[in-house]
Amino acid sequence: MNNIKKIGLTALAGSLVAGSVSAATMSVSGSAGMSYTGGDSKAVAGQGWTMGDSITFSASGDVNDIGVTLTMELDGDDADGTNKFDNQSIAFDLGDAGTLTFHGHGGSSALGAKDDVMPTANEEPWDILPGAEAELVGGAGGNNMFAYSYAHESGVTGTITYVNAADAVTDVSSTSYGVEFTGMEGLTLGYAQQDVEVTTNTKSDESTMYAKYAIGGFTVGIQMSEKDSESGTDYETTGIGISYQVNDDLAVSYGSHEIEAVGSGNPDQETAAISFSYTMGSLGIVGTVHDGDNIANDSTDSREKYSLGLSFNF
């Protein structure tokens, strides 16, 4: 009799689920690649070769008329090289009311997602230069973070993110705001802000604003950011970029980025990069040459680096 009851309850539960959840759509995508980084001997980079690997699983369906999408990425970028799930999120499509996403891991705050949005064919000017991103204005995110976004037909998109306080992430709960306008052909304008207090009593007000314009195959942009600290040094940054889409497969770019330690008397950090990217079907080839002066606002630290990469998308 107990077995019969169990079978009946299981069947009832299955029918209830089937009545409220539509069939899910499953997808799998992946990428693999290898890259080499070389240059200035003062930058410790091991033997230079690295491998990239990523498989992303996605499942989506309607639950009581709400679109739900689960995304999980499997990659091997952790320190010991073993595979693990990396970016994980659940997104709730609320239709005309916007989208609510819960980032279990790998999410960026509204400001962090816009730390450097200048046009580039490959990487940012400060990338791969050890120490060059130490004072980059990029807010703070963390695991188990909420993000809400709403896109209006006028071309205005608003984003709000919230991460709860936790010693391993941020000592004080943090909210970040962002707004972007794309309602004029070729033009993108944006602003993002966040009060950051990862460590108690080290609060800073961080913000960024940017503009990009695309015409023909060219895209040009400028971005200005600042970090105002209640205690410690304030920082101001300026980035510019220009990219050119030579054809459907080849793109080239130039960018520069400057970080000023306000009132410190230290020299400005100045980085620049020339990049290219070439695609041929699922094959991608990228390369960048970077130059950095006064890394971390230190007049004795200047570096030159380059990188070449080969990737396959599936």
CA neighbor of 17 nearest in space, from 70, 72, 62, 59 = 62
pLDDT of 76-94, one tens digit each? 655 555 557 788 999 999 9
DSSP one-letter code for 22: P
Report the distance separating Cα 136 and Cα 146, nearest Å: 23
pLDDT of 134-181, one tens digit each? 899 988 888 899 999 999 999 999 999 998 887 666 778 889 999 999
* CA angle, residues 202, 205, 211, in degrees to nearest 5: 145
pLDDT at 39 over 50: yes
Q: With contact defined as beta carbons under 8 Å apart, do 122 and 288 qualify?
A: yes
165 — phi, psi (to 5°)? -65, 135
Confidence of residue 311 (pLDDT cuts 50, 70, 90): very high
Three-state SS across 137-159?
A: CCCCCCCCEEEEEEECCCCEEEE
pLDDT of residue 35: 93
Residues 66-100 as b/e (b if ≥16 CB within 10 A, e otherwise) read: eebbbbbbbbeeeeeeeeeebbbbebbbeeeebbb
pLDDT of 216-242, one tens digit each? 999 999 999 999 998 889 999 999 999
Quick one: how far is CA 236 from the chain centroid? 21
Span 245-271, average pLDDT: 96
CA neighbor of 139 nearest in space, from 175, 97, 103 = 175
Report the distance separating Cα 35 and Cα 19, nearest Å: 49
pLDDT at 108 over 80: yes
pLDDT of residue 18: 45
Helix-, strand-, coil-residue percentages of the chain, each rounded to 5: 10, 55, 35
Element containing residue 2 per DSSP (H, E): helix 2-20
CA neighbor of 173 nearest in space, from 109, 116, 89, 102 = 109
Element containing residue 236 per DSSP (H, E): strand 234-245
Quick one: how far is CA 130 from the chain centroid? 19
149 — phi, psi (to 5°)? -135, 145
% of residues, the chain, pLDDT over 90: 66
pLDDT at 15 over 50: no
Report the distance separating Cα 115 and Cα 132, nearest Å: 14
pLDDT of 46-74, one tens digit each? 678 888 888 999 999 988 889 999 999 98
pLDDT of residue 19: 44
- In this prediction the pTM is 0.85
Among 36-40, 168-172, 195-199, 237-241, top mean pLDDT goes to 237-241
pLDDT of residue 5: 39
Domains of the chain: 30-313 (2.40.160.10)
Beta partners for residue 167, in sequence order:
none
